[in-house]
Amino acid sequence: MDRSSALAQLFVLLFVINTAEWHDVTVGASRVTLTDNGYKNLVVAISPAAPIDQSESIIKNIKQIITEASPVLYKATGNRAYFQSVHILIPETWDHIEADLSTWETFDTADVIVDTPNPMHKDVPYTQQNGKCGEKGERIHLTPNYVLTIVQEQNLAQYGKPGKIFVHEWAHYRYGIFDEYGTPGGEYPLFFRQSGTSFIEPNICANKKIMYNTRDISNNNAACKIDPATNIYDQNCRFEFHPSFKPDTSLASYHLLDSVVHFCKDGDFHSHRSETPNKHNTMCGGVSTWTVIMRNPDFAFYHNRPVDLDQLPAEFKIVKPTGSRFVVVMDVSDSMKQCNRIDKLGESVRAWIKNDVPTGSQLGMVMFSSTAHIVSELQVISDMKIRQEMMKKVPKDLYSITCIGCGLDLAVQMLQEKGNNKTGGIIVLVTDGRNSAGYLDISDVEEDIVKAGIRVVTVAFGSEADSNIERLADVTGGKSYYIKDGDSSEALQRAFTGACTYQSRVKNSDLKFKLFESTTSASNSRSVEGCFDVDDTVGRNLVLSAFNLDDRNSLESMQLSGPTNEIYDQIDFDTSTATVTVALAKVGRWDLNVKLKSSQSKPVLVTVKTQLRPNVTTPINTRCWVSNGADIKDASHHRIRIHADVWKGSHPVTGASVKAYIVKPNDELEILDLLDNGVNADTTQDDGVYSKYFAYPNQPGRYTVKCQVNSTNHKALEQLGFIGSASPQLFGNETIIGEVERIPMANFTRIVSGGSFQVEIPVSSNDSYPPAEVTDLSIMVVNDTATNISIALKWTAPGDDLDVGTGLIINQFNTSIKIRYTHIGCGFPCAASYYQLKYSDVVADVINSNFDDESPKRKSRSIITEEDLVAGSLQPSQAGVQQTATFQLTDVQREKPYYLSLRAVDKADKAGQVSNLVVFFIPDKSVLVLTRNTEDEDSVDGMTDQEIHIHINTKEPSYHVTSLLVAAFGLVLIVCLVVMLLVAVVKHLLVYRSYKDVPV
């Protein structure tokens, strides 16, 4: 092994050690496992929108795609993995297709969906990735049209072979890698300059010298023009590989080439290029795709070592949903009498049975104390009579001892009754205590639950509930909820409603949307007044509810006022809940007013919920979730991210105001502004997914999460543009990058629960995390004057702690909950303490692993300080604010590329990760044209007339390499001038000699 190879491997080892957060990979709802080198339980779900008349072709082609993908994956992973078993979930309406019955496979939790196109991608296969490097994606999206046309010549030319396309997307989805190519007009350039040379080449990852031909699509000429703003080929330039170009890598790059069968590695043969401007290098700090894949739990620690297999058989199982099966497992131990828990449980279960359990599904009930008993066998919920009979059976009596394992074990037996050919099911577990010693506990039955394909939704009732229930929800692909004793029954109803989302496919007509929520109590304010918008997609069965009333006499009045001043005040009362219902609410702004009497002793929750309007088929949907799962053992090893996505049908919604409300174990409320800006916690800009780090898990216990989405003044936009995914470029005059169209949306509100998560070991202080990594560092302008050279940079400021800061703590006006605001405009201190900026002509000098190395071997590196500042500020701005600064460069040479990066450091001297690299290059002045009186929207302070401006395209945030080719042209020009001058001198001498002897 040579020295460079050894250093490369040492760099990889150090990077693995210093990025422990990559191990924070959440399995989520997927049940895929890699056992004995075979992936099992891969779910491909087909949407009801797929054409039923082509159902057989769709199923056949799905099988073909995965069958062809198996040997590709097997070779690409070094004989470590292939696809062994696949479940294809077909729509209920495909009656003519023979299928087994199942309830654990669902469309919303499938690994791969075949659904109508996302307009941002059209028919191009893509993977929704909300996580960071090494983290599992959300799902792979194929369209019916793509699946039906995989063997057509145009598709093969455009995308490549379907098996390789699937492996490319699988690597995104399962292993958390990103693309290693640029696109025309995209975030990363189609071309770039090779380091230290004047050569422009396609932006790909390949292990062989790239041989290609260029073509200008504006005039169909072979010669492309140089863009003076970037000093690489302009946006009209495309390339085609030479037929003799046959690289082995990379499947994350140009996988459509037949010769490409491997991912780029850190060794010599399949060498990875960490300096190329692509998303993978930005997201993964320059580490190769192969390294990221091998660090995945599927392969780490010598799991699934290489094996020689002659055949790679794939088993396909066709399954069809028939209706979900629920078993409610209820704790009836003595502790449930505290704080009226058993009554709240009974009220919530009865309300769920009455209003929300889907018609046609099956429901059973189990109660447990020292032993477990069946309250009601599984019954089909067919009509209101059945619902009322089930409601009467909800238990009220309490007993001693808590045997959670007993209740779960009996529920599993019910769902696997002999003679029942169904599998899976959903258990809703409600408990308030720890398992009694010596009795069957959760660990005793966990394996049986997982093997049976049963999903568990857990509800922790009170702070003393068993700490193992969050793990049970995680490993079974369920969700966790936490109910405080002061919460109303509505909080418990949210958990039961959440269980309904795990059906094979939730009908749009069954969806419910929360438009308003507020809490009050008679001790602070005897009324709740508010307003909400009914948008044009909702309004059917609009219900104003007041929960947790002492009795009917506690309510003084309750009314709704519509857009045309119509009044609704007919009150219905059930146990402790009062409601006012509007059959079909008008579109527009509504007002509500709830007045309590002074006799009311408990907090009252007021909500407004509704359903889709008649004939509306495209809802505005919102999800809210914690990407790290519900069971967080040690918060210092996890960077907790909160996400919410907003969609109108299959179209992402951007520009909305999205907030996450996190209630801590001590009732302190943290409010986060979630952003869709593509930096810090957010992976991709304008994809409809809003994200933020939660930087203050400083208490042990359970945290609850809620998200609220608002669109006011038509600020939210429905995305209709097209950004492409799997196919880097098309040959011909078309490209996969198009104009983004955004349609303003009417005002709307959505409020959804994100469930809960449990922290076992909290962070030690409010300053336990460093600032987040800057991922959008870019060069705006390079100024080259007669006296100095300066560079203007732009980036989004991280926070003092990840992407947030410490806000002010105040008391909410109508409750005792403390609120911490952690959005832009917060109190002290939102920003990091200072930045460190360094540049060098050696890329290794400014990468993360060497940033602190001050040894003599880093002698080429220069540090930018306050003394170099020309304009702007080196003082970090508040988190999320875009900032610019211009610096004078005193140690640069012309005709040489330089690499620059920065990192933020907080007030406790905790340093964040190093940013993405940018590259700048100062050409020879003789080839540049002086500009006078330049008016440029990208200009910054410090520029004057008669300066040489080298403008850098700000649409390429990761790398900006200026042209060496211009310098080469300049040298040629100089040589030509010299030659012309010499020729003139020679001619002059000859003429002189011919006349020197002639007399005057």
Under the banding of pLDDT at 50, 70 and 90, the label for residue 268 is low
Least confident of 217-231, 313-327, 702-716: 217-231
Q: Which residue has the higher pLDDT, 971 or 789?
A: 789
For the beta carbon of residue 586, count every other beta carbon within 10 angstroms. 14
Q: How confident is the model at residue 125 (pLDDT cuts 50, 70, 90)?
A: very high
CATH 2.60.40.10 boundaries in the chain: 778-809+828-922
Average pLDDT over residues 337-353: 89
Of 703, 841, 853, 628, the residue nearest 197 (C-alpha):
841
Q: Judge whether residue 219 has pLDDT over 80.
A: yes
* Closest-CA residue to 585 (of 570, 568, 573, 607): 568
> 403-456: per-residue pLDDT in tens?
999 999 999 999 987 656 566 889 999 999 899 999 999 999 999 999 888 999
Statement: residue 939 has pLDDT above 90: no
Q: Give the CA dihedral 92, 96, 98, 104, nearest 10 degrees.
A: 0
- Residues 633-660 have a mean pLDDT of 91
Q: Write the DSSP assignment of 616-661 as a string of letters.
A: ----EEEEEEETT-SEEEEGGG---EEEEEEEETTEEEES-EEEEE
pLDDT score at 732:
39
- Is the pLDDT reported for residue 942 higher than 70? no
Among 12-26, 144-158, 527-541, 605-619, the minimum mean pLDDT is found in 12-26
Q: How many other CB atoms are found less than 10 A from the CB of residue 982?
A: 10
**H-helix segments, 441-580:** 442-451, 469-475, 489-499
Pairing of the two strands 527-534 and 572-574 = unpaired
Average pLDDT taken over every residue of the chain: 82
Euclidean distance between CA atoms 670 and 659, whole angstroms: 10
Contact 13, 266 (CB under 8 A): no
- β-sheet bridge partners, residue 609: 514, 543
Name the nearest CA neighbour of 533 among 298, 711, 314, 770.
711
**3.40.50.720, 3.30.360.10, 2.60.40.1930, 3.40.190.10: CATH of 622-728+740-761:** 2.60.40.1930
pLDDT the model gives residue 965: 43
b/e per residue 9-34 (b: at least 16 CB within 10 A) = eebbeebbeebeebebbbebbbbbeb
Query: pLDDT tens digit string along 740-772?
Result: 677 888 899 999 999 999 999 999 887 889 999
CA–CA dist 576, 545 (Å, integer) = 10
Please give the distance of CA 26 from its chain centroid, rounded to a whole number. 12
Give residue 185's pLDDT.
75
User: Which residue from 779, 778, 780, 774 is spatially nearest to 797, judged by alpha carbons?
Assistant: 774
Q: State the pLDDT at residue 986.
A: 52
CA angle 857/862/863 to nearest 5° reads 120
How far apart (Å, rounded) are the C-alpha atoms in residues 767 and 758? 20
Domain 778-809+828-922 matching CATH 2.60.40.10: the answer reads yes
Tens of pLDDT, residue by residue over 61-106, are 999 999 999 999 999 999 999 999 999 999 989 999 999 887 688 8
Rounded Cα distance, 864 and 561, in Å: 61
Predicted confidence (pLDDT) at residue 52 exceeds the cutoff of 90? yes
CA gap 678, 40 in Å, rounded:
33
pLDDT of residue 998: 32
Residues 456-478: tens digit of each pLDDT: 999 998 888 999 999 999 999 88
Tokens of 304: 């699934």
- For residue 854, name the pLDDT band (cuts at 50, 70, 90): confident
Domain span(s) for CATH 2.60.40.1930 in the chain: 622-728+740-761
β 897-905/742-744 pair status = unpaired
DSSP label of 526: S
Q: What is the mean pLDDT of residues 775-785?
A: 85
Which has more pLDDT, 487 or 631?
631
Percent pLDDT > 90 in the chain is: 48
Measured in whole angstroms, the distance separating CA 861 from the mean position of its chain's CA atoms is 35
Q: What is the pLDDT of residues 825-842, one digit of tens each?
A: 444 446 788 999 999 888
